[in-house]
Amino acid sequence: MSDQTVKQRTIAKEVTLNGVGLHTGKEVSMTLKPAPVNHGYAFKRIDLEGHPVIEADANYVVNTQRGTNLEKKGVKIQTSEHVLAAVVGMDIDNILIEMDAAEPPIMDGSSKYFVEAIEKAGIVEQEAEREEYVVTDVISYTDEESGSEITVIPADEYQVTTMVDFGTKVLGTQNATLKKMADFKNEISDSRTFSFLHEIETLLEHGLIKGGDLNNAIVYVDKELSEPTLEKLKVAFKKDSIAIKPNGILDNLTLHHPNEAARHKLLDVIGDLALVGTRIRGKVIANKPGHFVNTQFAKKLSKIIKIEKRNKVPKFDLSKPPLMDVVQIMNMLPHRPPFLLVDRILEMSDSHVVGMKNVTMNEPFFVGHFPGAPVMPGVLQVEAMAQTGGILVLNTVPDPENYLTYFMKMDNVKFKQQVNPGDTLVFKLELLSPIRRGICHMQGYAYSNGKLATEAELMAQIVKVKN
């Protein structure tokens, strides 16, 4: 997770947009509302009994035909991606999207109007810190059938590149890149949805483009425009005449960018990856993206993040000079070798402390604790955590050398994996309640090799030594 502290953000006041859903053709009123910290993104159907809420979560994706569609307990949200892209692009963490129909208004087929609505509402900082998933390894998902692939690699901020190959003369290969999210508004948000004439014909035959008049989609003409099709299009789009421009698109609108199709695909990637539920710090490279591959990748990433969160493995730079070395620790703690079980303090605040210990074969306890197969005793890992926590509590008194720390209670102690010679143990202790009368109640974790080794709830008290 992130080491840069950024506050969460929501909108300052609610704002409403009206329009029609592209696929449902239904009139819809959509209101963006401020939401509390750690709320994330969610949709609320106010036209249904009980006003059910559907979180923007990759695990609720049920269908990706012509848009990313979510469903929770039978309640549906269709084509969620354009509004979610605007929310991410405008750097919002918490928002409630209320609608009186299943599908947000298509507007002009881009995110532009949603961005404008968010700007109109204003943006406010909130009390809590934003959580960000910092990508440290390459993570990929490939759809063998379509050859589509999405990869995320480490980077200093969230970046997206899309590479699109439609295999048609009118629209060959296009690329688009967003180097920083701050550029979303100007570079990406006005890129509209598009389709090919052959798709439009099929959709018209099945009555599937109900809200899609020609003002909200770029139509690439990838085949001969027959007279019957022309007539159908005129009726569907309520136009007296329709023609093809020299660049191969119908004359309903003018491109905002030469690579508008690739930019819209990039917009879709951002909207679909909003379903991961956590900010991403890394560069996403999407080759032939589509809603199916985007949402499969979102599911995979969200699962990886959940597992890492569960293990709560913090990342610390062990090569940096420590906050306290072993000499400073001995000035504070009464423990001495061989019973001093913490080598360094890496971090400390009013409510948490991080320490570390290098476990070597020279530890005296290995003499008796399975010398043929040395394992650090779990109780000593708990003791090491307690000593680290002792530094946190002793730091609250002006003369720590005059105090001793005693255990009062241990709860929910779990040993998850062995600690062996050569391992580096990192201890993280967080206060569960403020220190009162020298009593310290902490949640402790010990990590080894990037995994949680031991956890325990500890209570200890510092007592002044009588001279």
- What confidence tens digit (pLDDT) does each residue in 356-415 have? 999 999 999 999 999 999 999 999 999 999 999 999 999 989 999 899 989 999 999 999
Stretch 111-118: mean pLDDT: 98
User: CATH: 3.30.450.20, 3.40.190.80, 3.10.129.10, 3.40.640.10. Which one for 326-464?
Assistant: 3.10.129.10
pLDDT band at 4; cut points 50, 70, 90: low
**pLDDT of 208 over the 70 cut:** no
Stretch 346-356: mean pLDDT: 93
Residue 257, amino acid: H
pLDDT band at 214; cut points 50, 70, 90: low
More confident residue, 212 or 49: 49
Q: How far apart are CA 107 and CA 112, in angstroms?
A: 9
CATH topology for 7-191+259-311? Ribosomal Protein S5; domain 2 (3.30.230)
**pLDDT of 2 over the 50 cut:** no
Strands 27-34 and 41-45: unpaired
pLDDT band at 209; cut points 50, 70, 90: low
**pLDDT of 3 over the 70 cut:** no
**pLDDT of 211 over the 60 cut:** no
Task: Identify the bridge partners of residue 354 per DSSP, sorted by sequence position.
Answer: 347, 428
Quote the tokens at residue 273: 């990856």
Active-site residue set: 291, 369
Q: What is the pTM of this model?
A: 0.71
pLDDT band at 184; cut points 50, 70, 90: very high
Roughly what angle, to the nearest 10 degrees, separates helices 260-273 and 291-311? Answer: 30
Stretch 309-329: mean pLDDT: 85
Whose CA is closest to 68, among 38, 117, 104?
Answer: 104
Please name the residue that has the structure tokens 């990637």: 269
Q: How far apart are CA 42 and CA 135, in angstroms?
A: 25
Please name the residue that has the structure tokens 């859903």: 21
CA-CA-CA-CA dihedral for 105, 108, 110, 114, to nearest 10? -50
| For the chain, domain boundaries | 7-191+259-311, 326-464
pLDDT band at 212; cut points 50, 70, 90: low
Distance in Å from the first CA to the final CA of the chain: 47
Quote the tokens at residue 396: 């609250």
What pLDDT score does 5 carry? 75
